[in-house]
Structure 1
Amino acid sequence: MTPELSRTLNALGTLAVSLVLVLAYFYQLKLYELPCPLCLLQRVGFVSVGVGLGLNLLYGARARHYALMLLGALFGVSVAVRQILLHIVPGTGHYGSPVLGLHYYTWAAICFFLILLGTSIMLMFEKQYENGSTEQRFGGSTLAKVAFFIMLGLAALNAVSTLIECGPTVCADPPTSYKLIDELGNNN
């Protein structure tokens, strides 16, 4: 696999992770389904994967960037499986609306598994690491730049929306409103 193909695949992966986050924000902002603390931690896992992908886009493929992706996906899948196990017990209900019959945490577990599988496969191709130090940033790829900045914006949005939802303290479980907005409104 050439460095150019690797960069293209990493850009597509970044866009796929970005799509997952965009869909989560759609449910949060349009359908007013505030993410629970475990959902927010799953978003952290996706952002961590996005950081690893972004580093591959910015500096070229490196095993340590893939390692960051693997760690982020392992964290995310462990949180998603925990949430699945919390809701699998009869009578415990579920959290959020289903998408194609599955809830966000189930889709997150599937996505994290696919990220683990895809990243492991990408690690097998050593030619992608050639000429990495002499390449210009983003390898001159417009797709890589666009994917990187979309992911960067979504990571920043994740931090801001979590602060607005939870304030500077522990997030409510289940969340019922945007805590920071409520606190600012009560102070006026």
Structure 2
Amino acid sequence: MTARQARTLNALALLGCCAVLIEAFWYQVALGELPCPLCLLQRAAFAAAGVGFALNLRFGPRPSHYGIAILSAVAGAVVAGRQVALHVVPGTGGFGSTLLGLHFYTLALIAFVALIVGVGVLLLGDRVLRAELREDNGRAGRFGAACLLLFLGVVLANAVSTAAECGTGLCPDDPTRYEALDDWLGRAGPR
């Protein structure tokens, strides 16, 4: 694998993390579906996995960067698996909308497993971790730089919306409003 190919694959993986976060954010903002605490943890895991790919783009591929992506995906898969288990019991129903016939937490579980497998495949091509590729660090290219900027913007937007929803306290189990934002604006709402 060449340095350019490694950069492109890491940029595409980062773009995939961005796509997941953007889709979830779209449902939140456009359709008014506020994320539950488990959903927020899954978003954080996608963001943390993205950090691993972003580090590879910025500083060159390293096993530790891939380790960040894998450990983040494992944590996200555990949270998504927990949420799937909560809604498997007959009569409990699902939480939130569906996409392609599956709830977002089910899709997240699939995406986290795919991310783990994908990074494992990248690691099998151990040439990507050799010194000659790492010497090319710091040159993410235009596509990589665009992915990095998009990632920063998406993570920042999700962090702001989470702060608006939860404030400084615990996030509500079944959110119905942006508690911190409503409190700051002096709007009372159902608690």
Structure 1 residues 144-153 or 26-35, which shifts more? 144-153
**Residue in structure 1 matched with residue 57 of structure 2 by the alignment:** 57
Instruction: Give me the whole-angstrom Cα distance separating, in 1, the residues matched to 2:165 and 2:23.
Output: 17
Gaps of 5+ in 1: none
Change in CA separation of 1:187 and 1:25 when aligned onto 2, cut-off 3 Å: closer
Structure 1 residues 143-152 or 33-42, which shifts more? 143-152
Residue 59 of structure 1 contacts residue 132 of structure 1 at CA under 8 Å; is this kept in 2? no
Residue 57 of structure 1 contacts residue 144 of structure 1 at CA under 8 Å; is this kept in 2? yes
**How far is the alpha carbon of 1:97 from its aligned partner?**
0.8
**How far is the alpha carbon of 1:157 from its aligned partner?**
1.4
Q: TM-score, normalised by structure 1?
A: 0.95
Instruction: Give me the whole-angstrom Cα distance separating, in 1, the residues matched to 2:158 and 2:54.
Output: 16
**Residue in structure 1 matched with residue 44 of structure 2 by the alignment:** 44
Instruction: Give me the whole-angstrom Cα distance separating, in 2, the residues matched to 1:175 and 1:148.
Output: 31
**Residue in structure 1 matched with residue 162 of structure 2 by the alignment:** 162
Instruction: Give me the whole-angstrom Cα distance separating, in 1, the residues matched to 2:128 and 2:40.
Output: 33
**Residue in structure 2 matched with residue 78 of structure 1 by the alignment:** 78
Give the secondary-structure state (helix, strand or coil) at the position aligned to 1:170. Answer: coil
Structure 1 residues 23-32 or 123-132, which shifts more? 123-132
Residue 57 of structure 2 contacts residue 137 of structure 2 at CA under 8 Å; is this kept in 1? no
Q: Does 1:135 align with 2:132?
A: no
**How far is the alpha carbon of 1:149 from its aligned partner?**
1.1
Gaps of 5+ in 2: none
Quick one: which amino acid aligns to residue 128 of structure 1?
A: V
Instruction: Give me the whole-angstrom Cα distance separating, in 2, the residues matched to 1:165 and 1:89.
Output: 28
Change in CA separation of 1:116 and 1:138 when aligned onto 2, cut-off 3 Å: same
* Number of aligned residues: 187
Quick one: which amino acid aligns to residue 93 of structure 1?
A: G
Q: TM-score, normalised by structure 2?
A: 0.94
**How far is the alpha carbon of 1:48 from its aligned partner?**
0.6
Runs ≥4 residues deviating over 6 A: none
Residue 60 of structure 2 contacts residue 133 of structure 2 at CA under 8 Å; is this kept in 1? yes
Identity %: 43
Residue 61 of structure 1 contacts residue 128 of structure 1 at CA under 8 Å; is this kept in 2? yes
